[in-house]
Amino acid sequence: MESLQLQLAGLIVESVQEIFSAYLFIDAVPGPVKISALGEVYIPPKTEVLAMVSYHGAFDGGMHLASPEYVACKLSGVFAGVELETLNAEACDAFGELANLIAGGVQTRLMEHHGLGEITLTPPTVSVNGQVNGIYREDLLSVQQYFKFAGGLMFAECFFIPPINESTPSN
């Protein structure tokens, strides 16, 4: 399973770097990656700002974009073309759309380059102040890929339901 998670970390890096370069004109430097273990109870990240997009179909799970508020304001402001000092509705929308673009980049790579079937995305949601929108399964696996850039630190996390043939450890 770790092989799939390492592949996902690479897809996250490709997608984040592509979106940051094309839309924000910012270099995102990948940092550490955190991979959950099979059997570990999944707990969604608690961070100041958390955007989420769900995947359904051939790959069930989702993508989180997580950061401190000041980073979300900076990224959202650059993306929206305005200076944002507080996390208002416009900033939340922009941060959610960044998560949607990153999730879409991973979705496309999974479908086109890794032979998975149709994967659909939900619209993004954004929660703040450590709140989490939604109910999560405890058996989800996850990959958190951290990034550093001129404006600060953030991470993108891909979480997913383990494939049936991988959900139980072999004896």
Contact yes or no for 158/8 (Cβ under 8 A): yes
Q: Which domain holds residue 46?
A: 2-162
The number of distinct structural domains making up the chain is 1
pLDDT in tens, 36-57: 999 999 999 999 999 999 999 9
Residue 2 has pLDDT above 70, yes or no: no
Q: How high is the pLDDT of residue 116?
A: 86
Distance of CA 131 to the CA centre of its chain: 16
H or E, element range at 91: helix 89-113
- Sign of the dihedral through C-alpha 89, 151, 47, 42: positive
Residue 22 lies in a domain: yes
pLDDT in tens, 58-69: 999 999 999 999
> 8: domain CATH number?
3.40.1550.10
Residue 132 lies in a domain: yes
Contact yes or no for 19/102 (Cβ under 8 A): yes
Residue 85 lies in a domain: yes
State the pTM of this model: 0.91
pLDDT in tens, 84-93: 888 999 999 9
pLDDT in tens, 99-120: 999 999 999 999 998 888 899 9
Give the pLDDT band (50/70/90) at residue 169.
very low
